[in-house]
Amino acid sequence: MSEEIRALDEDEILAGLLALPHWRLEGGCLVRDYRSGGWKATLMVAGVVGHLAEAAWHHPELELSWDRVRVRLSTHSPRGITARDLALARKIEEVVHWQPAREGGALEGTPNADERFRYIRYD
């Protein structure tokens, strides 16, 4: 943590959000709601976000309900949104919305058309 962390101004935040269309600026935080297929999937999404946050040493607020995970990102030390928040949001988005079936290959992915197996409600 040798570099100084600075809060981004509104124009920088809005520019960063262009690459994160399902994220929004709300109450001084970057916010994203992930819809899941139910409680088990909600817990898995929360676990993924928790793993990524811990690996990045940058910790969001999470709000869980039966079929939703709300992620809120901001940085406490400069009291605002920083480049770290945008970087973690991009990584969370990449991992949570990974769909192996779209890549081809050996991994077929979750059969989301069948409600019994639905995992994430992909945007």
Instruction: Judge whether residue 2 has pLDDT over 70.
Output: no
The secondary structure of 49-116 as a DSSP string is HHHHHHHHT---EEEEETTEEEEEE-BTTTTB--HHHHHHHHHHHHHHT--HHHH-SS-----TTSTT
Percent of the chain with pLDDT over 90: 74
Superfamily (CATH) of domain 23-102 = Transcriptional coactivator/pterin dehydratase (3.30.1360.20)
- Rounded distance, CA 54 to CA 48, Å? 10
Instruction: Judge whether residue 3 has pLDDT over 80.
Output: no
Predicted pLDDT of residue 117: 81
pLDDT tens-digit series, residues 38-61? 999 999 999 999 999 999 999 999
